[in-house]
Amino acid sequence: MASDKAVETVIVGNYVEMESDGKPTQDIKSKLSNFLWHGGSAYDAWFSCASNQVAQVLLTLPYSFSQLGMLSGILFQLFYGLLGSWTAYLISILYWFEVLDGLLGKHWRNVGLGFNCTFLLFGSVIQLIACASNIYYINDNLDKRTWTYIFGACCATTVFIPSFHNYRIWSFLGLVMTTYTAWYLTIAAILHGQMEGVKHSGPNKMVLYFTGATNILYTFGGHAVTVEIMHAMWKPQKFKAIYLLATLYVLTLTIPSAVAVYWAFGDMLLNHSNAFALLPKSPFRDMAVILMLIHQFITFGFACTPLYFVWEKAIGMHECKSLCKRALNAVEQPPKFVGRWVGTFVINVFIVVWVLIVGFGFGGWASMVNFVHQIDTFGLFTKCYQCPPPTPSLPIMPPHQLNATAPSPSPHHQHHH
């Protein structure tokens, strides 16, 4: 028995050596790429969950506290954090998409898919608006709408990130950025102290109360992204504990910062939804603004990546590894007189360049000039677009009133006449 076990050990050892010899050794570049780019561990999921939960809402939670009051604000954060962790637990053990599709049918699946896609779309738009709102505190040379366009173009590049596996370094940096911002808000508010005559009168209106509660619900309710984070894990069964731990860490950021800012400024926050608006300008505040801008770029990617997946599947590209090979096999070849595929691509390139230069370039420039002119003439949200402006009618006054109210001629005027 001992000799058989020794022979088996030798065979297994030789087999392992053969396997290791057959594998290509990774160079430093590949190892660095895997370290920064390819993530699916429990730590990656924790960073992704914590980074995705708290973004621009970190700056609006003090505003919610002014609507809810101190006690309700803290209790709602704890309550919704618990509900969010429970929902993540159910998602991890029930596979909600299988339940909706397999048990309830495709109609309920489509309803759930539409709801989540709408949530993600609105979340993406919110991140763009938040970017413009934050950068305006540093550079107000451009209006917020222009900043929204600029950041929208920048954030659209997240389409090149393949999956949530590739958010490893971004999730880590995003959590570092939000941690800095949260503790900056806390420390800056404490050092600033309470404003003179500060009042903490919330809650005083029901509509404000539920508005603040909804904002806190949004903080812990991003479960459309949660599914994708879990799907990107190498061991998804660990996700339920990871989400709970991420929520506990997020609470250590949101509660102290919101409490400190609300303590310092009180009801003034009712007219300033962004906490940056009340804190004095300083290099630390500018750093927090810049870090939040970068983090919102990451959050936009988190929200839009599932939408990219849905769109790929909708157009039949989800199982395709090579677009060119799929096109060659699925599409009938063009006729010979246009040059087959080479001639077709040449024609397509010409059309694209023409549309970009003539249509999009010059045509877009002309359209924008005309659009700006129309806005200057008729206004943006006018009730009657391109209608001639009404001529103002002057009231007709009696002659005696005209004589009574007319100013007497000046001595200089009498001298010349």
Instruction: Inform me whether the pLDDT recorded for 249 exceeds 90.
Output: yes
When mean pLDDT is compared across 132-141, 255-264, 363-372, the lowest value belongs to: 363-372
- Report pLDDT for 346: 72
Mean pLDDT, rounded, for 51-77: 87
Q: What is the pLDDT of residue 17?
A: 41
Determine the pLDDT at residue 262: 93
Closest CA to 76 of 264, 182, 211, 261: 211
Q: Residue 334 pLDDT > 60, yes or no?
A: yes
156: which 2 tokens? 């659209």
User: What is the reported pTM?
Assistant: 0.65
- Local confidence band at 265 (pLDDT 50, 70, 90 cut-offs): very high
Taking residues 130-145, what's their average pLDDT?
A: 81
Mean pLDDT lowest among 199-203, 204-208, 364-368 = 364-368
**Position 127 pLDDT exceeds 60:** yes
Name the more confident of 27 and 192. 192
Binned at pLDDT 50, 70 and 90, residue 255 comes out as very high
Q: What is the rounded CA–CA span in Å between residue 90 and residue 54?
A: 21
Of 236 and 223, the structure prediction assigns the larger pLDDT to: 236
Say if residue 7's pLDDT is above 50. no
Q: Average pLDDT, stretch 5-12? A: 42
Using the predicted structure, report yes or no on whether residue 82 has a pLDDT greater than 70: yes
264 with 200: CB under 8 angstroms? no
Cis peptide before 283 (omega within 30 of 0): no
Q: Which residue, chain included where needed, has tokens 């920064």?
A: 36
pLDDT score of 103? 64
pLDDT of 415 > 50? The answer is: no
Per-domain residue ranges of the chain: 34-331, 337-376
